Amino acid sequence: MRTLIVGAGALGGLLAARLLATGAPVCLATRDARGAARLKASGLKVTGVGGAVSVEAAQVAPVDGDLAGTPFDLIVLATKAHDAVEVAPKLARRLAPGGSLLPIQNGGVSQVLAEQLGGGCVLGGLSNLGATMASPGVYEQRNAGHLLVGELAGGTSERAERVQQWLGRAIEVRVTPNFRGAVWSKLLLNCSVTTLGAIAGTTMREYIAWPEGRELFDRTYDEALSVAFASGARPERMLVEPVPPAPRDGRGPGARDAWLEEIVRSYGDLKPSMLQDFERGRTTEVEYINGYVVRLGRHLGVPTPVNAAIVEAVGAITRGEAAPAPSLLSRVLQASPHG
């Protein structure tokens, strides 16, 4: 499979290095010529879970440059969400007939790209792998996670299985017949655990202990879940059951608290990735997380005032008009009073 990986950041660099280490001929695209030259000089090194590898990066080039191997059977899009949506149209032109574009961002990126590009070239991808980049070319795998792939329309396909076998040489890859459900399971947590933690400047375990934090979590999650259901998605179980107990389903008043406690145990101590984006002055992915919920909700006639207020708050932080703080959670609540 002639393969291009676009984006030599944490996930793209890790995947490229592990594939190259198996002897697979992979081309890697950077944003610009400087980035390509740097990687050619340094090579790619991975440490951490899954073992260490160190490889040369012979076929690395700027994304607009001469990419060895064009046209590609598989293009893995490993940039952040906004870059993925911007660069995807010109990448689609580099696909061989029947080739697949595999975005691996969180949130609504796969769906947005499928609508934007049409023609069924988008194969859904979602990463549960955790990776960091210490410096260009130097990566650490942080967990034993996997890459999930699947058709946006649902069901199984031969191409999903081929991609699983091909990339499975390097990392664990699973195929799901319910890709949209898997996207929503992660999106529900990104909307609430990650974004609210970033706004509060803390972990979920801390903010959920404050009454405003708990109320905001509940309303954000339930709003996003209503949009998921209205879209026809069936969120599927990851670490935690994605659909909370209903108030009167016979499991008693403590059932929702127990469900929430499971989420805190699984995700409550992680530093939100969006908070790291704030600290580094980087564009966040909120437009494809809570912003995606708002746009889809509008389209489906589901009100999403809390998620809209969250997008506003993230925008204010990004513009330097506010700083992450627990008090911002109260401001978000005030901006989205109960209907």
Ligand X SMILES: NC(=O)c1ccc[n+]([C@@H]2O[C@H](COP(=O)([O-])OP(=O)(O)OC[C@H]3O[C@@H](n4cnc5c(N)ncnc54)[C@H](OP(=O)(O)O)[C@@H]3O)[C@@H](O)[C@H]2O)c1
By the criterion CB under 6 A, which residues form the site for ligand X? 6-12, 29-31, 35, 63, 78-81, 83, 87, 104-106, 127, 130-131, 133, 285
Strand-pair category, 147-150 with 124-127:
antiparallel
Query: Sign (positive/negative) of CA torsion 270, 272, 273, 275?
Result: negative
CB of 322 to ligand X, least distance (A): 22
**Residue 212: both structure tokens together:** 């405003």
Q: Is-contact 272 195, C-beta < 8 A? A: yes
Helix (H, G, I), strand (E, B) or coil at 126: strand
- Cβ proximity to ligand X: between 157 and 284 the closer is 284
- Cβ proximity to ligand X: between 14 and 228 the closer is 14
* Nearest residue to ligand X, by Cβ distance, number only: 9
**Residue 84: both structure tokens together:** 């993925």
- Cβ proximity to ligand X: between 131 and 329 the closer is 131
CB of 39 to ligand X, least distance (A): 10
- Cβ proximity to ligand X: between 80 and 219 the closer is 80
- Cβ proximity to ligand X: between 111 and 336 the closer is 111
> In sequence order, what are the residues at sequence separation of 6 or more whose Cβ sits closer than 8 angstroms to the Cβ of residue 143?
49, 128, 129, 130
CB of 283 to ligand X, least distance (A): 9
Strand ranges for the chain from DSSP E: 3-6, 26-30, 44-48, 53-55, 60-62, 72-77, 95-103, 124-127, 131-135, 138-141, 147-150, 173-175
CB of 10 to ligand X, least distance (A): 4
CB of 130 to ligand X, least distance (A): 4
CB of 84 to ligand X, least distance (A): 7
Find where tokens 């949209």 sit.
180
- Cβ proximity to ligand X: between 212 and 277 the closer is 277
- Cβ proximity to ligand X: between 55 and 333 the closer is 55
Amino acid at residue number 136:
P
CB of 23 to ligand X, least distance (A): 23
Alpha-carbon gap, residue 265 to 252, rounded angstroms:
21
Question: If we measure between CA atoms, which residue out of 185, 191, 183, 189 comes closest to residue 310?
Answer: 191
Q: Is the peptide bond before 326 cis (omega within 30 degrees of 0)?
A: no
Cβ count within 10 A of residue 175: 17
Distances (CA, A) of 163 to 76, 130, 152, 325: 10, 20, 15, 43
CB of 334 to ligand X, least distance (A): 29
- Cβ proximity to ligand X: between 289 and 306 the closer is 289
